[in-house]
Copies of this chain bind each other. A is one copy, B any other.
Amino acid sequence: MALIVKKFGGTSVGTTDRIQAVADKLAAAHSSGEQQVIVVSAMSGETNRLLSMAGEMMPKRADPRELDVLLSTGEQVTIALLCMALIERGVSARSYTGGQVRILTDNSYNKARILDIDVSAISADVENNTVAVVAGFQGVDAERNITTLGRGGSDTSAVALAAALKADECQIFTDVDGVYTTDPRVEPRARRLERITFEEMLEMASLGSKVLQIRAVEFAGKYNVPLRVLSTFEPGSGTLITYDDEDSTMEQALVSGIAFSRDEAQVTVSSIADRPGTAYSILGPISEMNVEVDMIVQNAAEDGSTDFTFTVPRQDFARVMEFLESQKVTMGAREVSGDDKIVKLSIVGVGMRSHAGIASRMFKALGDSGINLRLITTSEIKISVVIDEKYLELGVRSLHEEFELDSDPA
């Protein structure tokens, strides 16, 4: 019988009624003989309630150790309530905090990393037909201090537990019914993918398709845990995320999805001297300002000078521009210019590896729609372009059609 680790996020367990609905679902699977281990988040709103109290105590920055003691109560409430609901339905169930499992982490409070999971108690529960319900997002360090894994940590807990238990699948229940070819709010003809590879999912997630946390996908890829995203509220098989095996590559679509990000701004330093250290002299200080630089492009001109362009998160645009203006003379740059009315648009697909000409199809499709490309970067399975914000919807739809994502694959 299949052993499945199922994770329910904050929205899925956001009210006592929803916890009851999850219990109904699990009880049905239980009576059909499925072996289940459950991971849950805090009820939605609870973490913010706790954070707000912490903010009253320490307005600047909460003590990291005590913050984890506080936040970890959120999931502890959920595990107890869900177990009660299961027991009420005649299903033997048993809750575990991170410490009780024990999920051993390093001692980086607020952003701990899982080092080891002792699955002996949970394995015994599985043997005894008892549903173990585990608090996500939390663990303990070697001194049994409570730690939390940081944002989205519950997905990581579930994947790590599935890896440690050698589960057949890790299912992430959320409020969407799978991973789509692109955002359906932008392209109504977007289609749910039956299947996607870990690498593609990583590219999609990091580009703004916020279905799964990147860390969890990385973890699943590393330990080869088949991961499935599906809806708590709607029936359906969701999207399965696995390794790209030989068979599936044969019929793999060239492009799996179209990702985009509105949270972008572009900065250009023009006619700066092209010599070793130039890039660092610009990006070093910006990194120290705690700004994450994304795309970086440098074009050397004939005269020994170069134009240096990069993108930053939109909310950091103003202070980055201010800083660069103040450094213009020191840097020996002719001009510093920028634009925060731009977006990033990407096509993602493992099919690119073995097929040439995909980039030119992309550029042609956009060009035919009258969209100018301002920046281009490529990786093995992704091509990204920066375009004017106003062309976002048009660009997404053009590419969606060009790569035949509207219709079901053969």
A50 at interface by CB-CB < 8 Å:
yes
Given A63-B87, A66-B87, A81-B70, A19 contacting B95 (CB threshold 8 A): no
At the interface with chain B, which of A52-60, A234-242, A281-289?
A52-60
Q: How far is the CA of A77 from the CA of B54 in the complex (A)?
A: 10
Could you tell me which residues of chain A, from 93 to 131, have a CB within 8 Å of some CB in chain B?
94-95, 97, 99-100
**Which residues on B sit within 8 Å (CB–CB) of A19?**
57
With CB as the reference atom, state the residue of chain B lying closest to A83: B66
Question: Are the C-beta atoms of B84 and A80 separated by less than 8 Å?
Answer: no
- Report Cα–Cα, A72/B97, bound state, in Å: 12
Check if A63 sits within 8 Å of B50, measured CB to CB. Answer: no
Contact present for B84 and A63 (CB under 8 Å): yes
Query: Which A123-173 residues sit within 8 Å CB-CB of chain B?
Result: 144-146
Bitwise interface map of A from 21 to 47 toward B, beta carbon under 8 Å scored 1, else 0: 000000000000000000000000000
Across-interface contacts of A50 in B (CB, < 8 A)? 77
Given contacts A69-B76, A73-B73, A87-B66, contact A81 B54 (CB under 8 A): yes
Chain B residues in 8 Å Cβ range of A79: 69
Chain B residues near A84 (CB, 8 Å)? 54, 57-58, 62-63, 66-67, 70
In this complex, which of A50, A57, A95 has the most chain B Cβ atoms within 10 angstroms of its Cβ? A57
Q: Chain B residues with Cβ under 8 A from A58's Cβ? A: 84-85, 87-88
Q: A56-B16, A57-B16 are in contact. Are A100 and B67 (CB under 8 A)?
A: no
A56 to B67, CA, bound (A): 29
The smallest C-beta distance from A139 to any residue of chain B, in angstroms, reads 14
On chain B, the residues within 8 Å of A80 by CB distance are 54, 66-67, 69-70, 73
B54 touches A83 (CB 8 A): no
**Residues on B with beta carbons closer than 8 Å to the beta carbon of A53:** 16, 77, 81
- Residues in B neighbouring A97, C-beta threshold 8 A: 69, 146
| A62: B residues at CB distance < 8 A | 84
| A224 at interface, CB cutoff 8 A | no
- Chain B residues, Cβ within 8 Å of A67: 80, 84
Kindly report which residue of chain B lies nearest to residue A140, judged by CB atoms.
B100
Q: How far is the CA of A43 from the CA of B173 in the complex (A)?
A: 33
- Give Cα A216–Cα B20 distance, bound, in whole angstroms: 38
Q: Within the assembled complex, what's the spacing in Å between the Cα atoms of A56 and B99? A: 27
For residue A87, which residues in chain B have a CB less than 8 angstroms away from its CB? 58, 63, 66
Q: Please, which residues of chain B bring their CB within 8 A of the CB of A81?
A: 53-54, 57, 66, 70
Closest to A135 in B: B69
Q: Which B residue sits closest to A68, measured CB to CB?
A: B80
Within the assembled complex, what's the spacing in Å between the Cα atoms of A84 and B52? Answer: 13
Q: In the assembled complex, how far is the CB of residue A133 from the closest CB belonging to chain B, in whole angstroms?
A: 9
Q: Which residues of B contact A146 (CB under 8 A)?
A: 97, 100
CB atoms of A77 and B73 under 8 A apart: yes
In the bound complex, what is the Cα–Cα distance between A73 and B88 (angstroms)? 22
Q: Which residues of A are in contact with B by a Cβ distance under 8 Å? A: 16, 19-20, 50, 53-54, 56-58, 62-63, 65-67, 69-70, 72-73, 76-77, 79-81, 83-85, 87-88, 94-95, 97, 99-100, 144-146
User: 9 A–B contact pairs at CB < 8 A?
Assistant: A19-B57, A20-B57, A53-B77, A53-B81, A54-B84, A58-B88, A65-B95, A66-B84, A99-B99
The 10 closest A-B pairs by CB, nearest first: A70-B80, A57-B84, A73-B73, A69-B80, A66-B83, A66-B80, A16-B56, A57-B85, A58-B88, A63-B87
